[in-house]
Amino acid sequence: MHILALLATLIGGGLFWLYRAQNATHAAHDLIDMAKDVRGAAHRFNFRRKANRHPMESVDEPAVAIMTIAASFFELDARATQDTLDALIDVAEHSLGYPKEDVDEMLVLARWLSNQCPHEDIAISRMSRRLYKIDGTQSAKALMEVIEGTFERTGLEMTERQNEALHRIQRLMKI
């Protein structure tokens, strides 16, 4: 009887470790797919990382900068919900004049860029300065359309931190 219990324990332990190894494999494949998505988006928008510079300093496309600011803005207090991201994509598609597929890829790149900073506040400030440097105040209207349009579409209320961030964006972009 004790041999059967030992055999059942060994089989159970083996199945447990097999299941854990399969989960690790799936997680690794997901990470590889995500890296391919970011790499593809970066290639599509001619993003080239420059040596000894923060990735945000390598952004030369105003639309990518706008999406990075907007993505960081909506993740200030918590992770943005899928509904918020869908609304952001729809509004950006119309405001920036890009097809939905391009906006989806921009959002992937924007979220990666945002995650290169320790906090969303820093990402917003850094990318706002970069957007002003590459495009002056010309993109400010499109940025405000994206942020305000997303709030309108989702029905969300602006939090205190988002309100402060909006004032910082306006100050940094001189609008």
Residue 161 resides in a domain: yes
The boundaries of the domain holding residue 117 are: 55-172
Q: What is the pLDDT of residues 13-49, one digit of tens each?
A: 777 776 776 766 666 555 555 555 555 555 555 566 6
Structural domain count of the chain: 1
Highest mean pLDDT among 71-80, 110-119, 124-133 belongs to 124-133
In a domain, 71, yes or no: yes
Nearest to 113 by CA among 76, 146, 68, 74: 68
Residue 49 counted as domain residue:
no
How many other CB atoms sit within 10 Å of the CB of residue 34? 12
Residue 160 forms part of a structural domain:
yes
Predicted confidence at residue 102, as pLDDT, reads 86
Domain membership of residue 30 (yes or no) is: no
Average pLDDT (95-108) is 88
- 31 in a structural domain: no
> How many other β-carbons are positioned within 10 Å of the β-carbon of residue 56?
20
Nearest to residue 165, comparing CAs of 131, 117, 130, 122? 122
